[in-house]
Amino acid sequence: MSKTIQEINEKIKKGSAVVVTAEEIIDIVRKKGAKKAASEVDVVTTGTFGPMCSSGAYFNLGHTKPRIKIGGGTCTLNDVPCYTGFAAVDVILGATAMPDYDQRNSIYPGSFKYGGAHVIEELVAGKAVKLSATAYGTDCYPRKSVETMVYLADMNEAVLFDPRNCYQNYNVAVNCSDKVIYTYMGRLLPRIGNANYCSAGQLSPLLNDPLYKTIGIGTRIFLGGGQGYVSWQGTQHNPNVKRSDNGVPRMGSGTLAVMGDLKQMSPEWLRGASMTGYGVTLTVGIGVPIPILNEEIVQYTAVRDEEIFAQVIDYSKNYPEVIPGSVAEVNYAQLKSGSITLEGRQVPTGGLSSYVCAQKIAATLKKWIVDKKFYLSEPAALLPSVDSGISVKLMADRPVKK
């Protein structure tokens, strides 16, 4: 038996839709089988809460009196530079941007206390932020500078936009060298002293729809505590990688570009993060509902941590030098147990993506649907899948014409 998204929405409206989380569906499918589960369950909710550098927000700041054309000029929010290559008062703030005076990692290893991600978190928390802008002045936009305090509520539009988020699986990072290294995967101790991973595993959105059969452009999602949308496949979307028989990729693969109204969001689900020795990044809460259209889809959502494998990569050499090869392959049940066995030794594991928060997001999304506050949307187009021929390329290094 199969269902349509429209039928599911009607059930939500009537209050008869059965909604469970990606954790709860595991036992349901195990006890009842996929066929019965598919007919009984209408929606499975997923969640993830991990750091993602490819995050940012764009704002329309409102026009000043007299007008200023910040486009082509400069603009900072709490001293963090925004991108100003757009119209008069449209600016973009990236999560990883930092004030010019930040010492970066010139004092080893570098603490990266404050950046774009923190500005976004503070705006969403309702705090005042210092805006400074300069311009060259034109006949129609005469003003040359402005300095003021702004609130999120003042802005005409404030939109979270992540060109890439929601990574479908990810590397497990280790350090095979004999000195400590600081990476976006955290501090890695020498001689494989620890192993860090970053995925919600069985709760992660794209691991529950491994071949992108339901999630597509226009899918309505939980985003940062508000309702947002999948706007495109994410950058570096890479469907053609090694997969298990259950369709689940055994390494980083698909990604989502997402966007939504910042004014609906909450600082609980948008957190500025400082990665020692690396930089600033934004941790974003995302939850995607998966419509249970048929047996095949419900089977995908029943995936368990022990069936999801990831590659252990050396971040002292292989990752920075782009040398293929992994130290080992482990699954998320092993990673979550607190240690994995590598080269015959027990190696402690640490997470970067919060499972507790992922559970909370999946439960919140479930509640929204049950409470009729959230309806499923029909994707306008599905994401490129394994048959698309898409695979990620490196930058070409060509001689530059002088």
Near another protein by CB under 8 A, which window of 2-10, 60-68, 212-220, 352-360?
A: 352-360
Nearer Cβ to another protein (64/281): 281
- Write down the least CB distance from residue 260 to another protein, Å: 20
- The answer to whether 196 contacts another protein (rule: CB under 8 A) is yes
Q: Which of 5, 23, 19, 126 is nearest to 336 (CA)?
A: 23
Tell me: does residue 273 bind another protein (CB under 8 A). Answer: yes
Contacts by 388-396, CB closer than 8 A, 24 or more apart: 388/239, 388/240, 389/240, 390/237, 390/238, 390/239, 390/240, 391/238, 391/239, 391/240, 392/236, 392/237, 392/238, 394/322
For the record, the structure tokens of 234 come out as 């994410």
Query: Of the candidates 149, 356, 380, 381, which one interacts with another protein according to CB under 8 A?
Result: 356
Enter the tokens of residue 361: 């997001």
Strand residues in 82-225 grouped as ranges (E): 90-94, 129-134, 145-150, 157-165, 172-174, 181-183, 186-188, 195-197, 216-217, 220-223
When asked if residue 190 is in the footprint of another protein (CB under 8 A), the reply is no
Least Å from the CB of residue 276 to another protein: 4
The amino acid sitting at 153 is A
**Which residue of 352, 362, 365, 383 would you call a contact of another protein, by CB under 8 A?**
352
Q: Among residues 5, 34, 49, 173, which is the contact residue for another protein, using CB under 8 A?
A: 49
Region of 14-22, 31-39, 272-280, 306-314 interacting with another protein (CB under 8 A): 272-280
334 binds another protein per the rule CB under 8 A: no
Work out which of 357, 361, 376, 383 binds another protein, going by CB under 8 A.
Answer: 357
218: nearest Cα among 361, 353, 381: 381
Amino acid at position 135, single letter: A
Exactly one of 38, 275, 293, 340 binds another protein (CB under 8 A); which one?
275
Least distance (Å) between residue 24 CB and another protein: 15
Distance between CA atoms of 370 and 382, rounded to whole angstroms? 26
**Alpha-carbon distances, residue 372 vs 9, 167, 218 (angstroms):** 9, 28, 19
- Cα distances from 152 to residues 132, 266, 302, 316, in angstroms, run 15, 12, 40, 41
Q: How far is the CB of 27 from another protein (least distance, A)?
A: 15
58 binds another protein (CB under 8 A): no
Residues noted as catalytic: 140
Q: Say if residues 173 and 326 touch (Cβ distance below 8 Å).
A: no
CB-based burial label for 371 (10 Å; 0-12, 13-18, 19+) = exposed
Asked if 348 is part of the footprint of another protein (rule: CB under 8 A), the reply reads yes
Backbone angles phi, psi at 11, to 5 degrees: -65, -40
In whole angstroms, give the CA distance from residue 197 to residue 212.
Answer: 23
Distance between first and last Cα of the chain: 65
Nearest distance from C-beta of residue 217 to another protein, angstroms = 29
**Closer residue to another protein, CB minimum distance, 185 or 256:** 185
Smallest distance, another protein to C-beta of residue 37, A = 24
Span of 19-27, 257-265, 334-342, 381-389 interacting with another protein by CB under 8 A: 334-342
Taking CB under 8 A as the rule, which mask of x and - marks residues 280-299 in contact with another protein?
A: -x-x----------------
The H or E element that residue 122 is part of is helix 116-124
349 binds another protein (CB under 8 A): yes
Q: Does 355 bind another protein (CB under 8 A)?
A: yes
Determine which helix (DSSP H) or strand (DSSP E) holds 321, and give its type and residue range.
helix 318-321
Phi, psi dihedral angles at 258 (to 5 degrees)? -130, 155
Minimum separation from the CB atom of position 273 to another protein (A)? 4
Choose which of 5, 19, 51, 73 interacts with another protein (CB under 8 A): 51
**193 conformational bin, left if phi > 0, alpha if psi -120 to 50, beta if neither:** alpha
Q: Which one, 164 or 271, has the nearer CB to another protein?
A: 271
- Of the candidate spans 29-37, 276-284, 306-314, 388-396, the one that interacts with another protein by CB under 8 A turns out to be 276-284
Footprint (CB under 8 A) of another protein, residues 93-112:
109, 111
Residues of this chain that interact with another protein (CB under 8 A) are: 49, 51, 109, 111, 186-187, 194, 196, 271, 273-276, 281, 283, 336-338, 348-357, 359
